[in-house]
């Protein structure tokens, strides 16, 4: 089985489909993890029009995809890509949890649930910024 997959990955379209499939799966899995860790339901809040939740979620999506992009660019095999993109996204997830705990002034999740857009923008900025740092360190 692995040999037939490796043969398919030798072609640019095969590699593109492989990377794309893994990226979509990773995005879904990690968005679920972020949803599980948050004290609010991201998609329910977005549906209600909560701009802070939309900004924070957009930052998470960008952050995950940026790490995936770095991993795809830096690693030649799909197996290395999967390992490093997963490891990088785990680091982004850990930084999200740390952000909640090291902010003593207010509770990030509560502020986002209450549509505090300033906190949503900060959450977006942190996710995006850290994704560049994490991505650059994946080498």
Number of H helices, E strands in the chain: 7, 0
How far apart are the C-alpha atoms of 132 and 23, rounded to whole Å? 17
Report phi then psi at 137, rounded to 5. -90, 0
Residue 27 is predicted with a pLDDT of: 94
pLDDT classification of 44: cutoffs 50, 70, 90: very high
Our count of domains for the chain comes to 1
Give me the domain span that covers residue 25: 2-136
Average pLDDT over residues 35-55: 91
Residue 77 is predicted with a pLDDT of: 84
End-to-end distance of the chain based on CA atoms, in angstroms? 29
Instruction: Convert the pLDDT of each residue in 61-84 to its tens digit.
Output: 999 999 999 999 987 788 898 999
How far apart are the C-alpha atoms of 80 and 19, rounded to whole Å? 11
Residue 37 is predicted with a pLDDT of: 84
Predicted model pTM: 0.87
């Amino acid at each position: 089985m692995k040999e037939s997959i490796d043969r398919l990955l030798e072609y640019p379209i095969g590699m593109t489909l492989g990377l794309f499939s893994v990226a979509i799966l990773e995005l879904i899995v990690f968005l679920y993890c972020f949803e599980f860790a948050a004290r609010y339901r991201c998609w329910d809040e977005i549906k209600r029009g909560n701009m802070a939740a939309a900004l924070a979620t957009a930052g998470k999506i960008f952050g995950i995809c940026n790490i995936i992009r770095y991993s795809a660019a830096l690693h030649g095999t799909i197996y290395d890509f999967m390992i490093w993109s997963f490891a990088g996204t785990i680091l982004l997830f850990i930084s999200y949890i740390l952000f909640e705990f090291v902010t003593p002034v207010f509770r990030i999740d509560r502020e986002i649930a209450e549509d505090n857009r300033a906190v949503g923008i900060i959450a977006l900025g942190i996710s995006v910024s850290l994704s560049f740092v994490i991505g650059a360190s994946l080498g």
